[in-house]
Structure 1
Amino acid sequence: MGHYLSIDIGGTYIKYALIDERHRLYHHQKTKTPENIDQAILKQIDTIVEAVADKHNIDGIGISTAGIVDREKGEIIYAGPTIKDYKDTAFKRELTEKYKLPVHVENDVNAALLGEIWKGAARNQNNVFCITLGTGIGGAYYDHQLMDGSHHQANSVGYLLYEPETRTNYEGRASTAALNKLIAKELGEEISAIAVFERAKNGDETCSSIIQSWTKEVAKGLSQIILLTDPKCILIGGGVSAQGDYLLEQIQNQLELFLPDNFLKTELKIAELFNDAALYGAVYPFFDVAVV
C-alpha cells in the first residue's frame, strides 16, 4: 500500500495532504482558490500535483470538490455560481494522462460523509445523512453506498423549501450566510456569529432569539430529510458545527415542530473530522477497507 495525495477544493481555499498506509494524514497545505478563468483551478491542481510528486512517491490522487461530480468520468457536470465556469472540468482525464496515476474525483459533501463513516463520528454506521451548513448547504446520503440518484443530483438539499413570497430556498434561509445576514440586520455587521453564539449561551435574549430563529429554519430542512429518507443518523458539518452540543440542542428543540408526534427517532450528531473529513473521503476508494 502506497501513499496518496488528497486534495479538497473549496470556494475559498484548496487544502491538500498526503495519506500513508496507516491512514495517517500528513504534510497538510493550503492555497487560495483562484478565480476560475481559463481553467485556473485545474491548472492550480496540476501545479500542486507536480510539486508534491517531485518530492514524494504517490500512487494515486483523490480530489474532493464543490459541484456535482460524475465520479466515473471524474469531471464536474454541474456547478452553481460559487465557482465560475466550473462545469466540464475534467480532472481525471487531464491528470491521469499527464501523471499516469489513478485519479478519483468526488463531490465535497459526499467525500466528507465517506470520511466520517470511515474515520469519524459515523464510524462503521449505515443509513447516514450528512448536511454541511456553510455559505451554502450541501447534502449526502450513504446507505451501503453513496446514493446519488439517476442524474447524480440527489441530496441537493440547499434547493429545498423554495418560498415564492421571499424568493428564497432552504440555503437562503438556513446557511451560515443567512445567519450572518440576520445578525447584521439585528446587531450590525461588526458582530460575528461566534460572538452571537457565545452571548446566547450566556443568556443574552436578543442573541438567543437570533439563534432560535435561524435554527428553526435549519430544523425545517432536516425534517424533510427525515421524512424522505428516515436516516439512522444525521451528521451536521460546516464551520458552525464547532458550536457542538449547544447547536444540536437548539436544532433538536425546533425539529419536532415539523414532524408528527413521536416520529423523531433519527440521531443528530456533530461531524468530528472538520477539515480532514473530505481529505479522508477523497482517497477512501484507494484503500481496501469495508466501511459497512
Structure 2
Amino acid sequence: MKIAAADIGGTHTKIGICDELGAIERFREFPTESHLGGPHVMNRLLERLAAYDEQCDAIAISTAGQVDTEKGRIVFANDNIPNYTGTAIREIVENRFGKPVKVENDVNAAALGEARFGAGEPYRDFLCLTFGTGVGGAIVMDRRIYRGADGVAGEFGHLFTHPLSETVGGRKPYYEAYASTTALVRMAKEADSECVDGKAIFDKIKRGNDALLRVVDAWIAEVAAGLASLVHIFNPSAIIVGGGVMEQDFLVRMVEERTRSLVLESFGGVRILKASLGNKAGLLGAASLYFS
C-alpha cells in the first residue's frame, strides 16, 4: 500500500510517498507560507498533492494544531497559522482526490513514526516531546496514542512550571515559556545579541563561550524540571525528545543526567532518547495510521 503523506509545519511542509517498510519516495519540502492563513496553506497543499495522486492508494496528513482525528479537522490552531482553526482538512482533501484521508496532530504523528520505525520501536509505552517554537507532546500507551476525553491529551508545553510568574517573553508562564528553543534563544540573547537561533548558540559554545554554556545549563534545568514531573506522573519506559536543538547527542545526555537527578530512585529506570527519524517522523507516523 502506498500512502501520500504530508506534514504541515509552521515553516515548511513536507510530502512523500511512504510504504509499510518506512521507505519514502519522491520526498519534497516547500515553504508553508503559514502567515498567509489556513485557506492559503490548504490550497498550496492541494496543488502539491496533485502530483502524487496517481502513485498513492490513500492520503495521510500530519499538521500543527489540535486535531479531531475522527472528523479530520483542526480543533484549535494558534496564530502561527491564522484562520486555521476549524479547517475541515479531511473533507477538503477527500473532495479533491476521492481517496481515503486521515489527519493527525504533528507531534502525535512523530511519536507514531518513532514507535514504528525509530527510537520508540523497543517500547510499548513512552512519551514524546518536541522542543521548538513551543513544546509539543504525545503519549504512547500500548503503542497507540492516548488522546484523553476530548482527544487533545499531551499538551505538555502548557504545564504550569512557574505558576506565580506573570508572563515570560509575552507568554503565559507555561513550561514552553522556559523550556522551548524560543526560550533558549531569548535567554542566550541576553548574554550575546548575536544568538539569533540554536545553531548560533552552539557554534559559539564550541568555540569556548562559557557564558553561553551557563545559559544552556540553566535552560537544561528548566527542560529537566518538566520532564521529571512527567516521569513521576506517567512512569514511562522512555521519553523521546526531538526538535532541532535536540539533534545534538551531548545535549540529550545532559538532559537525561539532570532529569535523573530530580526523580525518585524508584523511577530511575526511565530512558531519555533522541528522536531518530529527524524531519521524516511526521510523514512516517501519518502514513502508519494505515499500517497498524
TM-score, normalisation: structure 1 = 0.91
Matches of 1:61 and 1:210, distance apart in 2: 43
State how 1:142-291 maps to structure 2 within 5 Å.
Answer: 142-144=140-142, 145-161=144-160, 162-167=162-167, 168-190=173-195, 192-200=197-205, 204-244=209-249, 246-261=250-265, 263-287=267-291, 289=292
Q: Could you say which residue in structure 1 is the equivalent of 2:29?
A: 30
Residue type of the alignment partner of 1:275? N
Residue type of the alignment partner of 1:78? F
Q: Could you say which residue in structure 1 is the equivalent of 2:135?
A: 137
1:259 is displaced (CA, Å) by 2.7
TM-aligned CA distance change 1:23 to 1:260, over 3 Å:
closer
Does the 8 Å CA contact 1:118/1:124 hold for their aligned counterparts?
Answer: no
TM-aligned CA distance change 1:247 to 1:5, over 3 Å:
same
State how 1:48-197 maps to structure 2 within 5 Å.
Answer: 48-53=48-53, 56-144=54-142, 145-161=144-160, 162-167=162-167, 168-190=173-195, 192-197=197-202
Residue type of the alignment partner of 1:164? L
Does the 8 Å CA contact 1:133/1:175 hold for their aligned counterparts?
Answer: yes
Residue type of the alignment partner of 1:165? S
1:270 is displaced (CA, Å) by 0.3
1:139 is displaced (CA, Å) by 0.3
Q: Secondary structure at the match of 1:194?
A: helix
1:243 is displaced (CA, Å) by 0.8
Does the 8 Å CA contact 1:183/1:193 hold for their aligned counterparts?
Answer: no
For residues 217-259 of structure 1, what are the alpha-carbon distances to aligned partners after superposition, in whole Å with 9 as ceiling and x for unaligned? 1011101111111110000001111111x11222123224533
- Larger deviation, residues 5-14 vs 205-214: 205-214
TM-aligned CA distance change 1:158 to 1:36, over 3 Å:
same
Matches of 2:91 and 2:180, distance apart in 1: 34
Matches of 1:37 and 1:196, distance apart in 2: 31
Matches of 2:195 and 2:215, distance apart in 1: 15
Does the 8 Å CA contact 1:131/1:140 hold for their aligned counterparts?
Answer: yes
Q: CA RMSD in A?
A: 1.9
Unaligned runs of 5+ residues in structure 2 are 168-172
Does the 8 Å CA contact 1:15/1:28 hold for their aligned counterparts?
Answer: yes
Q: Secondary structure at the match of 1:248?
A: helix
Identity of aligned residues (%): 32
Matches of 1:185 and 1:196, distance apart in 2: 12
Unaligned runs of 5+ residues in structure 1 are none
Q: Secondary structure at the match of 1:39?
A: helix
Residue type of the alignment partner of 2:274? I
Q: Secondary structure at the match of 2:286?
A: helix
The number of equivalent residue pairs is 284
Residue type of the alignment partner of 1:159? H
Residue type of the alignment partner of 1:180? V
1:198 is displaced (CA, Å) by 4.6
Q: Secondary structure at the match of 2:278?
A: coil
Does the 8 Å CA contact 2:235/2:267 hold for their aligned counterparts?
Answer: no
Matches of 2:277 and 2:37, distance apart in 1: 32
